[in-house]
Amino acid sequence: MNTKNSGRDRSRTTRTSDSKKTKGTSATFKPKKKEASPFSKGFKKEDPKAVKKTSPKPAAKVAEGEEAPKKEISARDKRKYIDFKSKVKKGDPLPSFNEHEVRLNKYLSNAGICSRREADVLIETGVITINGEIVTELGYKIKPGDVVQYDGETINAETKRYVMLNKPKGFITTMDDPFGRKTVMSLVRKACRERIYPVGRLDRDTTGLLLFTNDGDLAKKLTHPKHKASKIYHAELNKPVKKEDLEKLIEGIDLEDGRTNFDVAKFVKDGNPREVGVELHSGKNRIVRRMFEAMGYEVVKLDRVQFASLTKKDLPRGYYRHLTEKEVAFLKMS
């Protein structure tokens, strides 16, 4: 008997049996799902205390003929859907001044005592008193009603304000009217906390540029005849104006309060003979209307376009704005 062949046959049979076992196990084997590592991206650790979300309950069926119950909307939800429209009224586009307290060095600088740096030195030396008490704190803030004294003299520091209004028709130029008529002050009352005054005046039916300020020196300069602040008006008459009459108005005419003349008087560019542009330096009351009335004309519309170096360009009727530093500087130089 051949032992070599029998040994080979045994090995073959063991191999085939082992292969069958592996095939049977591979058919039933299911690999486990890999668990996410706590160090991998997007890993979320389940909170054992978390409550599972329950599916919303189906809405109750409404019987035929019955109205569905209206859902109550809270006031908070209503505000989410209401469109906010800021109603801008005449006289309202203004900057708000919430600075009720002013630093002491700025207060002294605004009063014209010295610069802010020099004011710090004065404060440290103890020559400034507030409400009778010496203050040496550099960051001290002045409150409304505080009495500030320097070397025993009371300081009244008020920030200078310069406001330009495009006056509408129907407002009189006065601080207060005993008859209850509309005044220009109602249009600029929110412009600033300081009390401002109109420079010059425009009559009730005249529109256009009107300046307000609390700078008494500048107001006196602009209204005094010596400084001759120019004014330009756009006038619309009740009938065509003759060229000869414009020349007479430039030469000068006699009125009840003296002789007056226009510096310049021209027809407007569109060629309408009823509309005239005039320039003058006189500050007499209703001077433009009175001059045309003396020549047999009636002024239907009168609009002040320019005052000194200021123009009302891009300023809507009934609104105002604060002057820029450059505009204030030109006014003081003129």
Environment class of residue 140 by beta-carbon count within 10 Å: exposed (0-12), middle (13-18) or buried (19+)? middle
Evaluate whether 181 touches 173 at the Cβ level (below 8 Å). Answer: no
Residues tagged active-site = 203
Residue type, 113: I
Q: How far apart are alpha carbons 187 and 198 in whole angstroms?
A: 12
- From 212, 158, 172, 209, select the one nearest 189 (Cα to Cα): 212
